[in-house]
Chains A and B, each alone.
Chain A
Amino acid sequence: DAGITQSPRHKVTETGTPVTLRCHQTENHRYMYWYRQDPGHGLRLIHYSYGVKDTDKGEVSDGYSVSRSKTEDFLLTLESATSSQTSVYFCATGARVSSSYEQYFGPGTRLTVT
Chain B
Amino acid sequence: GENVEQHPSTLSVQEGDSAVIKCTYSDSASNYFPWYKQELGKGPQLIIDIRSNVGEKKDQRIAVTLNKTAKHFSLHITETQPEDSAVYFCAASMSAYSGGGADGLTFGKGTHLIIQP
A41–B5 alpha-carbon span in the complex (Å): 11
Q: Tell me if B89 and A42 are in contact (CB < 8 A).
A: yes
The one of B32, B42, B44, B104 that contacts A58, using a Cβ cutoff of 8 Å? B104
Q: Tell me if A99 and B43 are in contact (CB < 8 A).
A: no
Q: Shortest distance in angstroms between A93's beta carbon and chain B's nearest beta carbon?
A: 10
Q: Tell me if A102 and B43 are in contact (CB < 8 A).
A: no
Q: Tell me if A43 and B107 are in contact (CB < 8 A).
A: yes
The one of A31, A40, A100, A105 that contacts B44, using a Cβ cutoff of 8 Å? A105
Q: Inside 8 A of A103's CB, which chain B residues have their CB?
A: 34, 46, 105
The one of B44, B49, B101, B107 that contacts A44, using a Cβ cutoff of 8 Å? B107
Let me know if A78 is at the binding interface, CB within 8 A: no
Q: Shortest distance in angstroms between A6's beta carbon and chain B's nearest beta carbon?
A: 9
> Contacts A100-B51, A100-B96; is A94 near B102 (CB within 8 Å)?
yes
Let me know if A48 is at the binding interface, CB within 8 A: yes
Q: Tell me if B43 and A107 are in contact (CB < 8 A).
A: yes
Let me know if A62 is at the binding interface, CB within 8 A: no
The one of A100, A106, A107 that contacts B97, using a Cβ cutoff of 8 Å? A100
Q: Tell me if B43 and A90 are in contact (CB < 8 A).
A: yes
Let me know if A45 is at the binding interface, CB within 8 A: yes
A95–B32 alpha-carbon span in the complex (Å): 14
Q: Shortest distance in angstroms between A51's beta carbon and chain B's nearest beta carbon?
A: 11
Q: Tell me if A108 and B43 are in contact (CB < 8 A).
A: yes
Let me know if B45 is at the binding interface, CB within 8 A: yes
Q: Inside 8 A of A105's CB, which chain B residues have their CB?
A: 36, 43-45
Could you name 18 residue pairs across A and B whose Cβ atoms are closer than 8 Å? A42-B6, A43-B89, A45-B106, A58-B104, A59-B106, A90-B43, A90-B44, A94-B95, A94-B102, A99-B97, A100-B31, A102-B34, A102-B49, A105-B36, A105-B43, A105-B44, A107-B42, A107-B43
| A residues neighboring B (CB under 8 Å) | 1, 4, 30-31, 33, 35, 40-45, 48, 50, 58-59, 90, 94, 96, 99-108
